[in-house]
Amino acid sequence: MSKLKNRLTILREQKGWSKVETARRLGLNATSTYGNWEYGIREPDIEMLRHISMVFDVSVDYLIGQKDDSDYKPSELEKNLDIAKSLEKIRENIRFEESIQLDAKTVRPEVTQFIDDTIVFLLNQAKALNQTTEEQE
């Protein structure tokens, strides 16, 4: 997977993310873990490769150098809408973007937190309701 380190660097730079930001978006506790992947010291496991491919919206084959086409978009292949995944993506966006807007006005941090908390609440309520519905069937 010698191409992996180069592809990670290229993809991160295309997004304009620092290594710290990328590690946060990947859910890593240690920035050094991500840094080790970019430097080629270590490699992520297959589950993390899949997660990385989703975050950067490229295929695992592209990440590891099996394909040179980065136009493949896993997000475009989703045929069944998973509302939980969609809402998690929204949560990720509002947590990590510098300037969030609502009706063309910058959103204050406490409002961003309120939106995030509300999404979590809605997800939990919907999951509980869905579980109850499934048990009744």
Where residue 78 falls among pLDDT bands split at 50, 70, 90?
low
Q: Does domain 3-64 have CATH number 1.10.260.40?
A: yes
Checking 48-56 for CB contacts under 8 A at 24+ apart, the result is: 51/26, 51/27, 52/8, 52/26, 55/25, 55/26, 56/11, 56/15
Of 34, 36, 40, nearest in space to 5 by CA:
40
For the chain, what are the domain ranges?
Answer: 3-64, 83-135
> Residue with structure tokens 């086409």?
69
d(CA 126, CA 130): 6
Give the ranges where 65-137 is alpha helix by DSSP (H): 74-77, 83-96, 109-136
Residue type, 95: R
pLDDT tens readout for residues 86-114: 888 888 888 777 778 888 888 898 999 99
The yes-or-no verdict on residue 79 having pLDDT over 60 is no
